[in-house]
Chains A and B, each alone.
Chain A
Amino acid sequence: MKFGVVVFPGSNCDQDCLDVLRDVLGQPAVPLWHQETSLKGCDAVVLPGGFSYGDYLRTGAIARFSPIMRSVARLAKDGGLVLGVCNGFQILLEAGLLPGAMLRNTGLRFICRFVTLRVERADTPFTNRFQPGQVIRLPIAHNEGRYTADAKTLKAIRDHVVFRYCDEDGRVTDAANPNGSAGALAGLTNERGNVLGMMPHPERASDSALGSSDGRLVFESMLEAMVHA
């Protein structure tokens, strides 16, 4: 299976994602420059973390106008897998591929650390290698990760929340919610389940040398889903 990783000016996790896809997952993976329109035959696309266009206007607000995003939207519409991590999640929201928006963390500070997450759905193309309810460790690194949406949307997405921030025992509590995200939401799919946005960085936890390899299962799930599609 061939993966594409979109490179916007200001992306800074693109190479980390390519490393994991190639070296850990052993799959072909290519960078996709934001001004191109071809997905180069990729079966799945990752929108990586970073500060696309400096995030000067609003996180992800400019990146969504990049030519490559039209092709990404088409891939999503055709049922291909699209994973947005951190800034990639913010871009998916701005592009309307996922509902809702991101606000600044309640502490008004950038937060970089490992958090624990509860896997809410283990039946998506991104989580089929997890157990439902499993507690996993992934790092977060963001300034704007407080998910928000209107009441109607929050109700509509209830079944599409894939990861929630939780404590080590899997309890969703205020104390375990690092950024004030609505419903402790850390990861969300679209209705069809083929587009996932998540604030935590699975590519930073795909190698036990880095303190956790739980993130690898996200990529392995994608591979599994595509091979058996």
Chain B
Amino acid sequence: MPSAALATPSVAVLKRVARSHNLTDETYRRIVKTLGRAPTLTEVGMFGVSWSEHCAYSSSKPYLQQFPTRGPRILVPAGKENAGVVDIGGGWAVVFKCESHNHPSAVEPVQGAATGVGGIIRDIFTMGARPIALLDSLRFGPLGEPRSRFLLEGVVKGIADYGNAVGVPTVGGEITFDAAYRDNPLVNVMCIGLVPVRRIARAAAGGVGNPVLYVGSSTGRDGLGGASFASRELAEGRDADRPAVQIGDPFTEKCLIEATLEALATGDVIGIQDMGAAGLACSTSETAARGGVGIEIDVARVPRRAEGMTPYEVMLSESQERMLLIVKRGREERVKRLFAKWGLAAVEIGRVTRDGLMRVRDGPAVAAEIPASALTDEAPVYHRPVRRPAWLSRAQRLPLARVPLPKDYARVLTTLLGSPTIADKSPVFEQYDHMVQTNTVVLPGRADAAVLRLRSGRRPERSRGAAVLRLRGLGRWLAATTDGNGRACFLDPYEGGKLAVAEAARNLVCVGARPLAVTDCLNFGSPQDPAVMWQFKACVRGIAEACRAFKTPVTGGNVSFYNEGPRGAVDPTPVIGMIGLIESGMGPMTANFKDEGDAVILLGETREELGGSEYLAVIHRRKAGRPPRVDLAGELALQQLMLTLAAQGLLKSAHDCSEGGLAVALAEGCLMEPSRLIGATVSLQPPAGARRPIRTDALLFGESAGRIVISCARYHVERIEHLAARHKVAMAVAGRVGGVHLCIDSWIDAPVDELSEAWRSGLRQALGVRR
């Protein structure tokens, strides 16, 4: 029982605190029932954060069970640890996860984004993996609006300040702009790490009597209630939320990475968990519950940076760069010395107990005593009402007769190339250190996915004094991408969900990588809105179907609800982070055309699909219609064909056809490598006798799924035709590489250097970045 002195606020006060954590009166009653008594203030807080939507997935859990989570390469399935673990062979595994930091970034973009990076990196190295890459998936309102520019610049600075200093390269990602995100930007960060299979660390406590160490920065009042904050819509008066945003310190994080990996290598650490959302409260109860044991800690021993903090505040603080370690008894001094070498405090704050209780002391007094599993496993699950939005049918109507055909297709192409969503992103990624660790073999913006060479990873020197064995290279490459399409999901969340997964997989096969596994960030509005829950349900079904079809299990991720502002919810935006492996000795492929005379080939079929396209949005200012339909079997056949072509070394380039359609994909093939601009002459005209002619704008700028533009030496065309037929993939030899113009039938004839200028200056001008 908690000490009487700490347990006496009135029920009215407790209920008010509970409501401040977004706990309903009914949930409060449930807490009382679980404990068999009234909770203390600290206990209300601990339940509040542990049972928040952010930590407990209360509204999403019933749907997330549809995701396939197992596969031959999955070593740790979703939900069991901090991140998923995928076997890549040779005794090595990849650990990866994607997480959102939308709400903090809307309030304070620099710190919001920075702490997002810091948090996801900690999820990776707490598994024993060295973080080797970051990708960011970002969405903002139109760049013409000052607030969007302020948010974009702040978020990019936050990612750069943190990622660059911590020494993990930011190698890829995506940035899109749409009015749907003007109040509530999306900031999703994915981190990838590499770990020897036998060194994978666990986030479970064990061994009764083992000491619990607190490691890293001191605890302050920053970020108090962050997890509850993220589970609430942004109020009009954003500044009032500022204390809930944490401050990041990449220097401490860098030291924490090195010290933690050294500590894990000693074998003295039983369990380890980062203190992320809901800080000490979640990290202690989760490690206890996973290990089937109890943990007792004394908050009086927790290093602090603010005076007079209550147990409630210490337990709920979200101060950054802190970890919880359970170490073998008798080895604590050795572990502490190791952290001290890196200038980090490691303090014994408690021990593992037998009773399964999460007990929080404040010196002699007991401030909380809760069954650990009650916090983690008994959170309420809400079966929220679901209703198809009334406006959807109207949004899906797109009478093409009322969409006028453009007079000048070349001008449309130039406009699309310069639109911020399509334009060159180098003004952003040049602010990120994308080369540190010297594994980035394809620079950002040169291919459809980021590609890293895989080496043996780094071992801490002097570990156990043993000779350090270094494998020179693993002879394979890791590819990674993030993809999402909010507009498509807005118009049809089920097809949009499939599309996001299909595009991610297509991006990977375009560099020659076999898709392995998925992490996802699901960004939606308020789950209390039945229309949002309908979108969520449909999206998850689409993602699950696609992941099952492609045999790419979901290994983890997060759900971010309440992405709303005064003007409504964001577009439903699932972001798919996918990793793949290049195992053939040919190495990665890039997207740009290479040599005069090479054949340009289109794989896949173009249908009259303009719904939800960038062309409609940018040129006709419309967000309407049905998004492109995804044929999962056709996508899979395309993936398999691409992997065969890549393995046989038949291709010179490959580029997925997405925003802006074929015309943009062809133009990008001409201009993506700035030092080697090259033209192409192609014909998209369907062969005579084709069923029904397609509108020219749909042919050029429509975004039908399942299409890839490849180029190859002419003498390989026949072989490729043969393989495409065998895989039942539609193929058309469309033209050839060469010259200094891009010519498409009689519709477009544009000098590549002009197209290149439009593409390169689009974002640069909007941001005022000098080359």
Contacts and interface: CB of A to CB of B under 8 A. Distances in A.
Given A15-B458, A56-B251, A112-B434, A9 B441 contact: no
Interface in B753-771: 769-771
A210 B254 contact: no
Given A12-B254, A12-B436, A54-B250, A210 B441 contact: yes
Contacts of A54: 165, 249-252
Contact of A209 (B166, B167, B252, B453): B453
Contacts of A209: 441, 453
Contacts of A49: 436
B430 A113 contact: yes
A109 interface: yes
Given A10-B165, A209-B453, A201 B343 contact: no
B684 interface: no
A147 B721 CA distance: 57
A141 interface: yes
B746 interface: no
B145 interface: no
A204 B165 contact: no
Interface string B284-299: 0000000000000000
Interface in B420-473: 426, 429-438, 440-441, 443, 453, 458, 461, 470, 472
A111 B430 contact: yes
Nearest to A19: B438
A184 to B, nearest CB: 16
B164 A110 contact: yes
A109 B249 CA distance: 19
B432 A12 contact: no
Interface in B150-187: 160-161, 164-167
Given A51-B165, A209-B453, A203 B250 contact: no
B461 A201 contact: no
A211 B674 CA distance: 14
A111 B431 contact: yes
A16 B438 CA distance: 6
Interface centre among B165, B167, B429, B438 (most CB of A within 10 A): B438
Interface of B: 160-161, 164-167, 249-252, 254-255, 342-343, 426, 429-438, 440-441, 443, 453, 458, 461, 470, 472, 769-771
Contacts of B438: 16, 19-20, 203-204, 207, 210
A9 B769 contact: no
A55 B251 CA distance: 8
B769 A109 contact: yes
For chain A, give the interface size range.
35 or more
B436 A13 contact: yes
A139 interface: yes
Contacts of B435: 112, 139, 141, 201, 204, 210
Nearest to B453: A209
Contacts of A9: 251, 254-255, 342-343
Contact of B769 (A53, A107, A201): A107
Given A10-B165, A12-B166, A51-B251, A141 B431 contact: no
A9 B252 CA distance: 9
A191 interface: no
Nearest to B164: A110
A110 B769 contact: no
A50 interface: yes
A188 B472 CA distance: 33
A147 B770 CA distance: 19
A193 interface: no
State the 10 A-B residue pairs at the shortest beta-carbon distance, nearest first. A12-B167, A54-B251, A51-B165, A141-B433, A16-B438, A110-B431, A112-B433, A204-B435, A110-B160, A113-B430
Given A9-B342, A204-B435, A210-B435, A53 B251 contact: yes
B343 to A, nearest CB: 6
A175 B770 CA distance: 10
Nearest to A12: B167
Interface centre among B161, B165, B440 (most CB of A within 10 A): B165
Contacts of B342: 9
Contacts of B161: 110
16 contacts: A13-B436, A15-B437, A16-B437, A19-B438, A51-B165, A51-B250, A51-B254, A53-B251, A54-B250, A54-B252, A55-B165, A55-B251, A110-B160, A111-B431, A201-B435, A204-B438
A139 B770 CA distance: 18
A31 interface: yes
A23 interface: yes
B251 A110 contact: no
A16 to B, nearest CB: 5
Contacts of A12: 165-167, 254, 436
Contacts of B252: 54
A110 B443 CA distance: 17
Contact of A107 (B429, B453, B770): B770
Contacts of A143: 164
A91 to B, nearest CB: 15
Interface in A208-222: 209-211
Contacts of B443: 211
Interface string A105-144: 0010111110000000000000000000000000101010
A10 B254 contact: yes
A65 B440 CA distance: 34
B630 to A, nearest CB: 35
Contacts of B165: 10, 12, 50-51, 54-55
A109 B252 CA distance: 23
Interface string A76-112: 0000000000000000000000000000000101111
B436 A16 contact: yes
Interface in A5-50: 9-10, 12-13, 15-16, 19-20, 22-23, 31, 49-50
A139 B440 CA distance: 12
A143 B250 CA distance: 15
A203 B435 CA distance: 10
Nearest to A141: B433
B250 A50 contact: no
Nearest to A209: B441
Contacts of A139: 435
B431 A109 contact: yes
A50 B251 CA distance: 10
Nearest to B167: A12
B432 A50 contact: no
Contacts of B164: 51, 110, 112, 141, 143
Contacts of A13: 167, 436
A222 to B, nearest CB: 19
B526 to A, nearest CB: 36
Nearest to A55: B165
Contacts of B434: 112
A103 B738 CA distance: 45
Given A10-B255, A56-B251, A107-B769, 17 more contacts: A9-B251, A9-B255, A10-B165, A12-B165, A12-B166, A50-B165, A51-B165, A109-B431, A109-B769, A110-B432, A113-B426, A113-B430, A139-B435, A141-B433, A141-B435, A143-B164, A211-B443
Contacts of A110: 160-161, 164, 431-433
Nearest to A14: B167
A157 B453 CA distance: 40
A149 B432 CA distance: 28
B591 to A, nearest CB: 16
Contacts of A51: 164-165, 250-251, 254
B158 to A, nearest CB: 12
A107 to B, nearest CB: 6
B684 to A, nearest CB: 34
Contacts of B441: 209-210
A15 B456 CA distance: 13
Contacts of B343: 9
Nearest to A139: B435
A82 B337 CA distance: 31
Interface in A173-198: 175
